[in-house]
Amino acid sequence: MDHHITICTSCRHLGTACRPGYELIARLRAAITTAGDAVTDSFEVSGVACMAGCDRPCTVAYHGTRKATYLFGDIDPDTDIEDLLAFARLYADLEDGWCSSLDRPGKLRDTTLARVPAAMLAIETGKVRAS
Ligand code: FES
């Protein structure tokens, strides 16, 4: 697998004890499996206890070798699976993982908490990334 999606399993729906991360993992895995395209073969989905975005549940991160890392917040398993799948397709096609908010699908345009350049690109002197 070249790409990884990490989902917080500790996030709670605001004001409730419900932890939707496990449902999000199950639904996204199912969507990736049934996609039947390059995403099916190149993405793995797993959970982690917390990604320090606790005020914006659920949080979801995209990682790839030599690619920018993204952290999204406010993700809901009932409404956002298609946007997550669409971003997986986009992310897989980007050589360095870098894209502007306008390129991100649907809700992900407005719910990006962080975009961190790949370590190799971050240390290249004189290289400035446009958004
Ligand atoms: S509890 Fe989900 S990011 Fe902290």
Continuous H helices in 16-100: 21-35, 38-42, 81-93
The tens digit of pLDDT for each residue in 55-103 reads 999 999 999 999 999 999 999 999 999 999 999 999 999 999 999 999 9
CB 32 within 8 A of CB 43: yes
Give 121 or 96, the one with higher predicted confidence. 96
pLDDT of residue 96: 94
**Lowest mean pLDDT across 58-62, 106-110, 125-129:** 125-129
Task: Sketch the domain layout of the chain as residue ranges.
Answer: 3-122
User: Looking at the chain, how many residues does it have?
Assistant: 131
Backbone angles phi, psi at 2, to 5 degrees: -90, -20
Between CA 42 and CA 96 the distance in angstroms is 15
The tens digit of pLDDT for each residue in 16-33 reads 767 899 999 999 999 999
Cα-to-centroid distance, 89 and ligand 1 (Å)? 25
pLDDT of residue 129: 62
Of 24, 13, 37, 26, nearest to 86 by C-alpha is 37
What H or E segment, with its residue span, contains residue 61?
Answer: strand 60-64
Q: Is the CB of 61 under 6 A from ligand 1?
A: no
Fold classification of 3-122 (topology level): Glutaredoxin (3.40.30)
Of 66, 52, 54, nearest to 97 by C-alpha is 66
> What is the residue with the minimal CA distance to atom 1 of ligand 1?
11
SS3 at position 64: strand
Q: Is the CB of 11 under 6 A from ligand 1?
A: yes
pTM, full prediction: 0.90
Between CA 27 and CA 33 the distance in angstroms is 10
Q: Is the CB of 21 under 6 A from ligand 1?
A: no
Q: Is the CB of 14 under 6 A from ligand 1?
A: no
Between CA 71 and CA 111 the distance in angstroms is 9
What H or E segment, with its residue span, contains residue 45?
Answer: strand 43-48
